[in-house]
Every structure is written in C-alpha cells, then in structure tokens.
Amino acid sequence: MPVITSLINLKGGVGKTTITLALAHFLAIEHQRRVLVIDLDPQTNATVCLIPETEWKQRDETGRTLYQLFADQVKGTQRFDTDQAIVRNVSNVGGGVQGLDLLPSSLQLIKIQDRITQLTDFDNYQRGPIFALRKALEGFLPYYDHVLIDCPPSLGIVTLNGLAISDSYLIPVVPDILSVLGIPPILDRVEHFARATRHNIRALGIVISKMRAQTILHNEMVNRLRDDFQARRFPMVFETIVPESARIAEAADVMSPVNTLQQKYGNGGPYEALSALSQEFLAHVTR
Amino acid sequence: MSHDNSTNHPGDETEASAEVMALAAFLRELATRAERDPAFAAGVLAIARASGLIPQLSDQPMSQAAQQTPAQRTRKAKTSASANAGKAGKAADTQPTMPPDPFKVMRAKGEVGLRATLDALDLSTLRVIVRAHRLDPARISARWTNRDRVIALIIEQTRARLNHGKAFDRV
C-alpha cells in the first residue's frame, strides 16, 4: 500500500499546493516512485498546474473530477468513475511524467460543500460522506507508492475525506505570525478525528516555505518553531527550508515548456531546496 | 586672505559627491524599474543598443559567418550596401524601435497578425521579446537557432497566457 500524506494548513497561501506539486515531481522523477496527487482544494490550483485548464474544463463537464464524487453523495447517484477520473502521466516536464497521476478537483465543489457539510456529524463522524474518497479509491491505491493530498485551507468534510485515507500529514507554513497560529488547531482537530475514526494519522512535520532569509521575523519564527518542537508542543520541523522564489511561482505554469526539474524550478536555490525536501520527506515517511 | 581658484573648494567636493549620489540614485531607480517592468527594460535595452552604449548581441554572428562561403558573404554585403543606400535618406529620421508587445499585438490583430509581426523580426529581437515577457522561464529556447521555432514559442505562450483563466469563467 502507498504512503498517503495530506498537506494541511487552515491558512491559505502557505505553500500547500507548491509543496504537494514539488514532492510529487521529485518523487516521480528523481526517485522513480509512482505518485498520485489528489487535489481536494476547490480552488483547483494543483489540478491546473498539472494539466491544461482546457483539459480540466472538459473533464469537469463530463463528470471526471472530484465534484462528481461529492455530488453523488448529495444526490444519491453513482456516476463517479475513478478510473476515468484519474489523469495519467501528467505535468509539463518532458510532455508528461511517467508514473505521476492526478485526481483532479473542481471549482464546482464550492457549490456543494455546504450541502455535504449538512449531511455530516462532526462529533463522532458516524454520519455523512467521510469515507467517500476512500471507497472510490479502493482497488486503485495499491498501484501507487505515494499519494499526496492537497487539502483546502479548512478542516471541513472535503479535507476529512483526505485525512480518512491518510496515514500521515504535513503542515506547510510561512514562518510568520498568522500561519503559525493555525498549527495547534490542526493538531487538535486531526487528533480528534483520528481518535473518533480509530485510525492512526501521524503528524509527519512542519515544512517551512516561502522563507525570506533576510527577514528578521521569518528567522525568529523558524527558531520559535524549532524551539516548540524541542518542547514537544509541535511536530518536527523539516531541516529543508523552501525559499520564496519567483522561479517556484513560475513553475506553476503548466503551459511552459520544460524538459527537466532543473528547468522547471531553476538551478541553484529552489531546485536544490526542493530536491533536498523530497529526500528528507522520504527519510521520514519510511522511518 | 587670498583664494586659489585652481584648487578645489570644500564646497565643490560636496557638490560633486551630491551629483554622484544623484547619479547613483538615478541608476538604482532605473535598475529597480527595469527589474520590475520587463517591457520598460526591453525598451531601455533597445535604445541603449541602438545608441551603441551596449554592444548589439547578435545571436549567430560567429557561427553564421563561419558557415557562409566567400560568395555568400560578398552577396550579402552587396545586398546590405544597396539596402543601406536606399535607406540613407531616412536614416537620420530612424528612431530606435521597441520590440512589439506580443500580447498587445495578439489582442489587436489576432494570431495571424502576431505571426506577421514576428515574421518581420530578426532572431535577436525575437529573443528580446521572449526574455522581456518571460515566455520561456526555463530558457530552453536559448539555443534554438531556428527563427520559426522561436516564433512558434512566442505565439503559443502568448495565446496560452491570454487564455489563462478562461476555463474558470462562469463555472
């Protein structure tokens, strides 16, 4: 069975999608792992970083995105077909990366999120479509070495579907005041969910992203996060720090032609950092 | 008390350093704007190159010249000379031209119009456009010597960026 990792933070813009995509690419290309990216975020950012938006649109209109999975729960239909929904060998690197697959999200999830939430009992999770994703992926997971789940910036029903199949989670943070504030509620909520569903979900660690090394605040917050880990308040903080970089931002353009990861992320800082992050990630998940 | 006009007055030094400071501030501002605004940078670059302040970086001067036969070189020189003679009257009026903004051209004239505009440009200008608008951040086109390939890249990237987000309309 694969290692299934959710990337979570209650705050948006902390690098969840960036780190999901970078790990997926490096695991698939540099470590020859079979990787499935599940985009649970209705913003659909990871999806349109891996496939052209025209292709996403076509898939969305024909029920081949996660919208259909959750719409089925609300409407009582069974139209979602996992095999049809998974997009194989995605990415702009070399025209598609062998072994890097995507289960695409949909903007339409925004429309039904509230309705799914109404079906759910958040105290003991006995009622509601908490395990819809798990059921849909039965039979498909053994094909992969890693599943990376890009979660929306909330701990609602869609994120819980991701956690329900995860055996670990990563918390990307920008080392600033607001994104660090969200860490304790995540730890509490995931622990509560894991206990209620009798399912072990390991906090793999905190990944610092969008680091501006020249900023005093960022440096202070990194030290604080590491101190909090020493004091056992927070999970381990990854040694690798992902820098703020225009090149990483540009890497989101799936229409940009690239042949290698060095070209995608830019030689030097960003590429080196993301490569190191994938190695560190592998070392922790296999521990 | 006599004053020697040939020596520097302490005030002159202050004035000179103020000028240097002002020049430095101007150049810093220029550099900052050039980094922030690729179109502005391309414009400044085009003017600097046209004025000879920055040498024209030809993309294939050595390789092309080396590959040409003496007859080809002579023919090219003649063609160039006659073209220059024809343009001589206009030369004084010629202003350094900024490379066209592919996004503006495609919006105004469509893809066919953009292709026609790009067809009239040399490889070096096409590369200025690619760099100025970051149409190839990975710089995989830097070694391409085929103009048509660079033109195709500019058109494809311009079209992709202009259509960016259209699939999200009215979801």
CA distance A117 to chain B (A): 21
What is the pLDDT averaged over residues A11-39? 97
Q: In whole angstroms, how far apart are CA A200 and each of A166, A168, A203?
A: 9, 8, 10
Q: Which of A219-228, A275-284, B19-28 has the lowest mean pLDDT?
A: B19-28
Q: For residue range B125-153, what is the model confidence (pLDDT) as tens digits?
A: 999 999 999 899 888 899 999 999 999 99
Cβ atoms of B30 and B16 closer than 8 Å: no
Cβ atoms of B153 and B141 closer than 8 Å: yes
Average pLDDT, chain A: 92
Of the candidates A5, A9, A49, which has an alpha carbon nearest to the alpha carbon of residue A152?
A9
Cβ atoms of A232 and A253 closer than 8 Å: no
B137 closest CB neighbour out of A60, A108, A247 = A247
Cβ atoms of B81 and B74 closer than 8 Å: no
Q: For residue range B91-113, what is the model confidence (pLDDT) as tens digits?
A: 445 555 689 999 999 999 999 99
Report residue A39's pLDDT band, with 50, 70 and 90 as the boundaries. Answer: very high
C-alpha A173/C-alpha A183 separation (Å) is 9
User: Among residues of chain B, what percentage have pLDDT more than 70?
Assistant: 57
Residue whose entry in the numeric block shows the structure tokens 């139209």: A79
Q: In whole angstroms, how far apart are CA A155 and each of A11, A96, A160, A208?
A: 11, 32, 6, 20
Q: For residue range A116-152, what is the model confidence (pLDDT) as tens digits?
A: 877 777 776 766 788 999 999 999 999 999 999 999 9
Structure ipTM over 0.90, yes or no: no
Q: Answer whether A256 sits within 8 Å of B168, measured CB to CB.
A: no
End-to-end CA distance of chain B: 87
pLDDT for position B6: 43
Q: Is the pLDDT of residue B119 over 50?
A: yes
Residues spanned by the domain of A129: 3-285
pLDDT for position B61: 37
Q: Is the pLDDT of residue B26 over 90?
A: no
pLDDT for position A211: 95
Of all helices (H) and strands (E), which one includes residue A136? helix A132-137
**Quick check: helix, strand or coil at residue A35?**
strand
CATH code for the domain in which residue A225 is found: 3.40.50.300
Residue A141 CA, chain-centre distance (Å), reads 16
When mean pLDDT is compared over A171-185, A201-215, A255-269, the highest value belongs to A201-215
pLDDT for position B74: 45
pLDDT for position B58: 42
Burial of B28 (0-12, 13-18, 19+ CB in 10 A): exposed
C-alpha A45/C-alpha A57 separation (Å) is 13
Of the candidates A147, A137, A155, A161, which has an alpha carbon nearest to the alpha carbon of residue A285?
A147
Tell me the chain B residues in contact with residue A263 when contact means C-beta distances shorter than 8 Å.
Answer: 138-140
Q: For residue range A104-117, what is the model confidence (pLDDT) as tens digits?
A: 999 999 988 888 87
Q: In whole angstroms, how far apart are CA B47 and each of A10, A92, A176, B98, B121?
A: 50, 36, 43, 8, 16
Tell me the chain A residues in contact with residue B167 when contact means C-beta distances shorter than 8 Å.
Answer: 48, 53-54, 56-57
Cβ atoms of A201 and A168 closer than 8 Å: yes
Q: In whole angstroms, how far apart are CA A124 and each of A120, A130, A158?
A: 10, 11, 16
How many Cβ atoms sit within 10 Å of the Cβ of residue B73?
A: 12
Q: For residue range A63-119, what is the model confidence (pLDDT) as tens digits?
A: 999 999 999 998 999 999 999 999 999 999 999 999 999 999 999 999 888 888 777
Tell which A residues from 221 to 280 touch B, by Cβ distance under 8 Å: 247, 250, 253, 255-259, 263-264, 266
- B138, closest residue in chain A (CA to CA): A263
Of all helices (H) and strands (E), which one includes residue A170? strand A168-173
* Number of domains, chain A: 1
pLDDT for position A149: 98
Q: Is the pLDDT of residue A281 over 50?
A: yes
- A55, closest residue in chain B (CA to CA): B167
pTM: 0.75
pLDDT for position B170: 64
pLDDT for position A93: 95
Q: For residue range B49-94, what is the model confidence (pLDDT) as tens digits?
A: 766 666 554 433 333 433 444 444 445 444 444 445 444 444 445 5
Q: In whole angstroms, how far apart are CA A85 and each of A60, A79, A116, A140, B171?
A: 9, 11, 20, 12, 19
